[in-house]
Amino acid sequence: MKLELEIESKTFSVDWEQKNDNITATIDGTSYELVIMSPSPNVYTLLLNNKVYELAIEPNPLTNTNQVKVVNQVITTKIVDHRQRGHKTDKVASGTQPISAPMPGRVVQVLKNVGDEVKSGEGVIIVEAMKMQNELGSPKNGIVTAIKVKPGQNVVSGEVLAIIE
Amino acid sequence: MKLELEIESKTFSVDWEQKNDNITATIDGTSYELVIMSPSPNVYTLLLNNKVYELAIEPNPLTNTNQVKVVNQVITTKIVDHRQRGHKTDKVASGTQPISAPMPGRVVQVLKNVGDEVKSGEGVIIVEAMKMQNELGSPKNGIVTAIKVKPGQNVVSGEVLAIIE
Amino acid sequence: MFKKILIANRGEIAVRIIRACREMGISPVAIYSDADRSALHVRLADEAYYIGASPSLESYLSMEKIIDVLKESKADAVHPGYGFLSENAKFVQAVEQVGVVFIGPSALAMEMMGDKIRARQLAKAANAPVVPGTEKPLDSLEEAYQVAKQIGYPVMLKAAAGGGGKGMRMVGKEEDLASAHNIARSEASAAFKDATVYLEKFIVRPRHIEIQLLADRQGNYVYLGERECSIQRRNQKVVEECPSPINSAELRRQMGEAAIRIARQAEYYNAGTIEFLADQEHNFYFLEMNTRLQVEHPVTELVTGIDLVKEQIKIAYGQPLSFTQSDIQLRGAAIECRIYAEDAEKNFMPNPGRITRLSAPSGPGVREDSGVYEGFEVPIYYDPLLSKLSVWAATRPEAIARLSRVLDEYHIDGIKTTIPFFKAILKQDDFIKGNLDTGYIERNWHPSSKPTETPETKELQHLAALVTAIHHNSTNQKSNNQTINQAKQSAWRLSTRTKGRGF
Amino acid sequence: MFKKILIANRGEIAVRIIRACREMGISPVAIYSDADRSALHVRLADEAYYIGASPSLESYLSMEKIIDVLKESKADAVHPGYGFLSENAKFVQAVEQVGVVFIGPSALAMEMMGDKIRARQLAKAANAPVVPGTEKPLDSLEEAYQVAKQIGYPVMLKAAAGGGGKGMRMVGKEEDLASAHNIARSEASAAFKDATVYLEKFIVRPRHIEIQLLADRQGNYVYLGERECSIQRRNQKVVEECPSPINSAELRRQMGEAAIRIARQAEYYNAGTIEFLADQEHNFYFLEMNTRLQVEHPVTELVTGIDLVKEQIKIAYGQPLSFTQSDIQLRGAAIECRIYAEDAEKNFMPNPGRITRLSAPSGPGVREDSGVYEGFEVPIYYDPLLSKLSVWAATRPEAIARLSRVLDEYHIDGIKTTIPFFKAILKQDDFIKGNLDTGYIERNWHPSSKPTETPETKELQHLAALVTAIHHNSTNQKSNNQTINQAKQSAWRLSTRTKGRGF
């Protein structure tokens, strides 16, 4: 099997063969012989030269990336899908930037209206979670072209709340 | 929704309606108003007149029954499927009885051969698990018509090891 | 003994109290809001009553609804936990009015200690050291100038009705006093509907050290050692330990006896905590009294062997304490970490959401007080405390080593937690040496920039890439040639996992 | 201190030792057989080495393979745990031959204590009470008749090389002696390849009470109180507690001092246990010595606050004990339950298989030492011990109440366990009163016939029917109108769940 991945904007090619729980892999030019087990869903135990590594993978469907936890580190990985590459870049109109919810919460206040001019960092929406308020600022100087939420509304993590152009 | 179930050879009719996590049910003639949640797969938390019940269900595909654990009890339930009733009884030839593994284990010895006569309770196969040996006896007087395992073989719980006729 | 106790709280503390009830043969009754329909405290109770919508004001803070449940459930006592209504004297009165016992102090003692200025006066009357400052609300900015000059800068402005760091302002020099006075008053007004502030000497690099008390209705008092709670973010404790790294038997006795004298002034009964600030020379000053169970009570329980919740219940029932001061022995050292749903890398931003994996540590010397489980959706409405992880060991260095081991075994996925933060703190020299003060985190916590690239990090990246590839591949492959039977079971599994608590 | 310790064991005890290593900054090395490829002890170790096929003889009992791993891993010490090679003097020698430290006693002491008859002689030499009987193997049936007559029936025949109840036979009267002698010899021969048996007075309704010792290489000895282990099935302990319900400070001192005298005879160092039988008048008799860590060591740790595994490691490294007898203080009471994969309703028949759900209790006073996790396939090849659940509380009644609470919180699905058995035992009057002896289970455990039908049972049946119906319905419904996306994820989840540890 062969796949291409991205970690911290570097591309890694992974080429591997699996026989029962033995893996032979070439990753970014380095060869590995490994034993692999999956004790529970999304958890993988690897033995590399008898050294034990346990990795937990958390796919994030919103960003199409994975958080891989290993030895007190979190590594963000992304499968490079050559077929979809072209589409993706089209999706976001250049010059347009969203304000997304960094966490689930409830919108307590919308500070700007559509059409308002905002400076970079200027507050646009206030979201509250767990008794903490979080003022979300504009990512750039521009104009508010869309407000997608109302005060009192619950939002999920990563949800687009407003668009700045 | 309506279903028929069997518990300890008694039949229970269950007739229920669900709206979000509220349930109205008539079970064996008794009416219930309940709140139901499923905190994890196969686990159900019920509130009946504000009393909390937590039930865990373990389906057993081999016997087509379910073990339902509740308040230090285990209740075995079975969905009555009217379509399949006829088939089932056909499957087991009358007068034929299997010896099944009561637990996963390894066959250490086969004491009888096909064609041997056996008395009820007489040992036919010895299965070992966790350093304990378990001599499985014949369920009746009869003749061994099939031995389906060999010494050294691993067996799963409920697996048919021999047939007595 | 009581037959049935209503627990007017949620989360880990509700679970803690339910457990005490069970062990005493008392039937525990839970209350829940919409967001808590399948919360752990509901699942573990004998009875559970719905009390309203998710926001606290409509549920856990609604006296009216809770009193209704009291009547309906016929509970004979109420345990308030901490937070919510636990320090609301009106709630005490409302409970007692319907003939139910409040597991806590008298409404009067609660009221006296709830007013910071009055509490300070009580402490002075009890001959306990207090931070130099005003005894009463500041009447004006002029008075503030005058007092500050007298006790010397730096000084601290504080809301009289305050708590949780709101309405607090440090003033380093005279020219900053006016604006700080303004801000403190308006914050206090917003948070507590009371703009009253007072002024104290600001203690440089203070330690937060508190004394745990137990007092019965017969007037017997004991202190159960101290807790060091200097590791704080946003003026809230995140790591607590017993004993304090600096406390000698003599200092403990002085603080303990001062604490008892203060509590006696209010004819206090119940568990209670007298908080002190200690300066770098180990002088200590009365800060305030908490008239309820503390979040961090487990470390005291681990070291003294006394179950504080059971003692609260027995005291409320009218039983005298079954031990005296000389019976209290401290053994070993305990440390607690508050596992919050917060991203410590991003300034401890709250991080509610679904817990997709939860694997808790165990083995020798571990205690966990958790309010959540795998699959639970941590609500956006309440405090971010998921669980309290405590360890006990024979000595403080062993407790630190154990806590490190235990944190490495702890896996929570789906939401960010403070677990990585604790792992980092425990490795710091100042923590290991016990050089603590309330400014510790601000000074010592610098969320990691990218780790430097070593052969080790490269190897981990390779393994992460491999696991991602294998996971991706298996996920796709399996879905293409699955059998009906697999699909049946698994879809339901997914559904219950994803939707979780309801249908 | 050691840098790397190889743990020549599996399951919960391997996990226990790994944890001690981690807390001491020592790198733990695991070994595993086929059946244990994804066992918990592998997942928690720094390194893990494959040592062969699942049957113990081909893996955990293979000295050769373990010595190979010792060389390859460059571990500087071996911890044997209990069982397997832990009491094999040849293994000690083999380990020492490759320059590695064995964490245990000298081969000589192990050998002396491993031979029951020799151990008995040592005990007599140490002026410790022993059960009246033969000092040496019986030469003949005639000798058996003679000795039995002399000490009086009932008597007990025992395998000299024995353990775990094999080769043991009680003889109530003279006419049964010949056949019992025959059976005991052939059982002993089959189990230990040594038909030698000896004969002892049979103690009526004995309690099994044992003393935990620690001894360093400098010749310092301490005893850490006793453990009562009278609740046994198939001559194996299932519930243990510290202290014993009958032990007074004076009896403890007598037993402890006798135990130390015996250990001194063998110049014993390491943790060790002297087992005694106590009769109904509280006379006690030396039974045997276990020259290794015991399964039930956690109850002693909970009550004394001493970490026995860490002490073993320090002793093996050559450090003297850091405390003396007068430092040892017992606090409170601890009880341990051995959670076995067994069906107590069916004569404790083993019940290996996949754990489909595991939800462990927590909160105050709970300690769990587990070797398994949710999704793990409990192998058919080894001991059925899944986990040890221990509680601590200030008094024995509180410990019993806590244990009941904790067992009610413990959920293991997929396999049968002894959890329901413990719940039942804890409710029994004799247990609560501490009226224990080694025949307790036989006398008091009668697997439930059908519970009598009450309105309550009828209601529970109704709820079980409803949940079955809803579960059935949701399972079917979901699979019919699932989306592709759901199917994808869920199939993988099922696959990993079902196949578990491999691919």
pLDDT tens per residue across span D262-319: 999 999 999 999 999 999 889 999 999 999 999 999 999 999 999 999 999 999 999 9
Closest residue on chain C to D387 (Cα)? C363
Distance, in Å, from the CA atom of C350 to the CA atom of C417, rounded to the nearest integer, reads 9
C60/C74 same-domain check: yes
Evaluate whether D384 touches D340 at the Cβ level (below 8 Å).
Answer: yes
The pLDDT score that the predictor gives to residue A158 is 85
Share of chain D above pLDDT 70, in %: 93
Evaluate whether C349 touches C342 at the Cβ level (below 8 Å).
Answer: yes
* Distance to chain C for B139, nearest Cα, Å: 33
Residue identified by tokens 């003939």 is C99
pTM for the whole structure: 0.91
The pLDDT score that the predictor gives to residue D163 is 65
Please tell me the total number of residues recorded for chain A in this structure.
Answer: 165
Q: Confidence class of residue C477 from pLDDT cuts 50, 70 and 90?
A: low
* Range of weakest confidence among C211-225, C294-308, D194-208, D242-256: D194-208
Q: How far is CA A93 from CA A87, A165, D379, in A?
A: 12, 9, 57
Q: Confidence class of residue C134 from pLDDT cuts 50, 70 and 90?
A: confident
The one-letter code for the residue type at A82 is H
Instruction: Say whether C32 sits in a helix, a strand or coil.
Output: strand
Q: Confidence class of residue C247 from pLDDT cuts 50, 70 and 90?
A: confident
Distance, in Å, from the CA atom of C202 to the CA atom of D174, rounded to the nearest integer, reads 89
Q: Domain limits of chain A? A: 2-82, 93-164
Residue C480's contacts (CB-CB under 8 Å, 6 or more residues apart) are none
The pLDDT score that the predictor gives to residue D129 is 95
Out of C72, C497, C503, whose CB is closest to B21?
Answer: C503
D172/D230 same-domain check: no
Mean pLDDT within B130-140: 90
Residue to test with chain C: of B36, B38, B79, most C Cβ within 10 A: B38
Contact C500 B52 (CB under 8 A): no
Query: Class assignment of domain A2-82?
Result: alpha beta
What are the tens digits of pLDDT across the range A48-87?
Answer: 999 999 999 999 887 889 999 998 889 999 999 776 554 4
Q: Confidence class of residue D500 from pLDDT cuts 50, 70 and 90?
A: very low
> Would you tell me how many other CB atoms lie within 10 Å of the CB of residue C164?
13
Q: Confidence class of residue C164 from pLDDT cuts 50, 70 and 90?
A: low
Evaluate whether C130 touches C123 at the Cβ level (below 8 Å).
Answer: yes
H or E, element range at A158: none
Asked if pLDDT for residue D164 goes beyond 80, the answer is no
Asked if pLDDT for residue D215 goes beyond 60, the answer is yes
Tokens of A136: 């979300």
Does residue D420 belong to the interface with chain B, where contact is any CB pair within 8 Å?
A: yes
D355/D241 same-domain check: yes
* Distance to chain C for A75, nearest Cα, Å: 7
Q: Confidence class of residue C495 from pLDDT cuts 50, 70 and 90?
A: very low
Distance, in Å, from the CA atom of A161 to the CA atom of D174, rounded to the nearest integer, reads 91
Distance, in Å, from the CA atom of C323 to the CA atom of D458, rounded to the nearest integer, reads 47
Residue identified by tokens 């109840």 is D165
Share of chain C above pLDDT 90, in %: 80
C245/C290 same-domain check: yes
Evaluate whether D299 touches D334 at the Cβ level (below 8 Å).
Answer: yes
Which CATH number is D425's domain given? 3.30.470.20
Q: Which of D444, D465, D490 is the last residue of a domain?
A: D444
What are the tens digits of pLDDT across the range C309-343?
Answer: 999 999 999 999 999 999 999 999 999 999 999 99
Architecture of domain B93-164: Beta Barrel (2.40)
Beta strands A154-155 and C101-102 are unpaired
Tokens of A143: 């104009």
Tokens of D410: 């413990």
* Distance to chain C for B36, nearest Cα, Å: 7
Residue to test with chain C: of B18, B22, B40, B66, most C Cβ within 10 A: B40
Closest residue on chain B to C496 (Cα)? B41
What are the tens digits of pLDDT across the range D65-109?
Answer: 999 999 999 999 999 999 999 999 999 999 999 999 999 999 999
Q: Which of C403, C429, C444 is the last residue of a domain?
A: C444
Q: Which of D179, D201, D223 is the last residue of a domain?
A: D201
Tokens of C498: 């994803």
Instruction: Note whether residue C467 is domain-resident.
Output: no
Instruction: Note whether residue C412 is domain-resident.
Output: yes
D331/D411 same-domain check: yes
D60/D173 same-domain check: no
Evaluate whether D187 touches D204 at the Cβ level (below 8 Å).
Answer: no
The pLDDT score that the predictor gives to residue D502 is 34
Instruction: Note whether residue C116 is domain-resident.
Output: no
D271/D410 same-domain check: yes
C65/C214 same-domain check: no
Instruction: Note whether residue D114 is domain-resident.
Output: no
3-state secondary structure D375-408: CCEECCCCCCEEEEEEEEECCHHHHHHHHHHHHH
Instruction: Note whether residue D10 is domain-resident.
Output: yes
Report which listed range, A122-136, C405-419, D120-134, is most confident.
C405-419
The pLDDT score that the predictor gives to residue A83 is 65
D336/D426 same-domain check: yes
Instruction: Note whether residue D91 is domain-resident.
Output: yes
Picking from C125, C108, C121, the residue whose alpha carbon sits closest to that of residue C269 is: C108
Which CATH number is D178's domain given? 3.30.1490.20
Tokens of D469: 């119906």
Instruction: Note whether residue C459 is domain-resident.
Output: no
Residue identified by tokens 């409970």 is C95
Evaluate whether D20 touches D28 at the Cβ level (below 8 Å).
Answer: no
Q: Confidence class of residue C499 from pLDDT cuts 50, 70 and 90?
A: very low
What are the tens digits of pLDDT across the range C50-84?
Answer: 999 999 999 999 999 999 999 999 999 999 999 99
What are the tens digits of pLDDT across the range C365-404?
Answer: 999 999 999 999 999 999 999 999 999 999 999 999 999 9
Q: CA end-to-end span of chain D, whole Å?
A: 39
Is it true that the peptide bond before D243 is cis, omega within 30 degrees of 0?
yes
Tell me whether residue C292 is one of the annotated catalytic residues: yes
Distance, in Å, from the CA atom of C88 to the CA atom of C63, rounded to the nearest integer, reads 10
Tokens of C203: 């203690």
What are the tens digits of pLDDT across the range B34-46?
Answer: 999 999 999 999 9
Number of domains forming the structure of chain C: 3
Share of chain B above pLDDT 90, in %: 75
Asked if pLDDT for residue B86 goes beyond 60, the answer is no
D237/D377 same-domain check: yes
D223/D334 same-domain check: yes
Q: Which domain holds residue D288?
A: 207-444
Mean pLDDT within A136-143: 92
pLDDT, averaged across chain D: 91
Query: Which of residues D230 and A89 earns the better pLDDT score?
Result: D230
Instruction: Note whether residue D436 is domain-resident.
Output: yes
Q: Which residues of A touch C465 (CB under 8 A)?
A: 5, 7, 12, 14, 27-28, 77
Share of chain D above pLDDT 90, in %: 80
Contact B37 C48 (CB under 8 A): no
Contact C47 B20 (CB under 8 A): no
Asked if pLDDT for residue D487 goes beyond 80, the answer is no
Tokens of A16: 């591997």
What are the tens digits of pLDDT across the range D327-353?
Answer: 999 999 999 999 999 999 988 999 999
Out of C420, C451, C471, whose CB is closest to A57?
Answer: C471
How many Cα atoms occupy the beta-carbon half-sphere of C123 within 13 Å?
A: 25
Q: Provide the strand spans (E) within C69-174.
A: 77-79, 101-102, 155-159, 169-171
Phi, psi of C437 (to 5 degrees): -160, 170
Q: How far is CA D101 from CA D70, D76, D104, D290, in A?
A: 11, 6, 9, 19
D272/D390 same-domain check: yes
Evaluate whether D74 touches D54 at the Cβ level (below 8 Å).
Answer: no
The pLDDT score that the predictor gives to residue C39 is 98
Residue identified by tokens 């600022």 is A137
Picking from B153, C469, A42, the residue whose alpha carbon sits closest to that of residue D375 is: A42
Q: Confidence class of residue C491 from pLDDT cuts 50, 70 and 90?
A: very low
Phi, psi of C127 (to 5 degrees): 65, 35
pLDDT, averaged across chain C: 91
The pLDDT score that the predictor gives to residue D485 is 30
Q: Pick the catalytic residue from C207, C292, C338, C402.
A: C292
Q: Which residues of A touch C457 (CB under 8 A)?
A: 73
Mean pLDDT within B61-77: 90
* Distance to chain D for A56, nearest Cα, Å: 12
Share of chain A above pLDDT 90, in %: 75
Phi, psi of D227 (to 5 degrees): -130, 135
Contact A37 D496 (CB under 8 A): no
Asked if pLDDT for residue B89 goes beyond 60, the answer is no
What are the tens digits of pLDDT across the range C348-367?
Answer: 999 999 999 999 999 999 99
Distance, in Å, from the CA atom of B64 to the CA atom of B41, rounded to the nearest integer, reads 19
Q: CA end-to-end span of chain B, whole Å?
A: 43
What are the tens digits of pLDDT across the range A18-42?
Answer: 998 999 999 999 999 999 999 998 9
Asked if pLDDT for residue D177 goes beyond 50, the answer is yes
Mean pLDDT within C6-28: 98
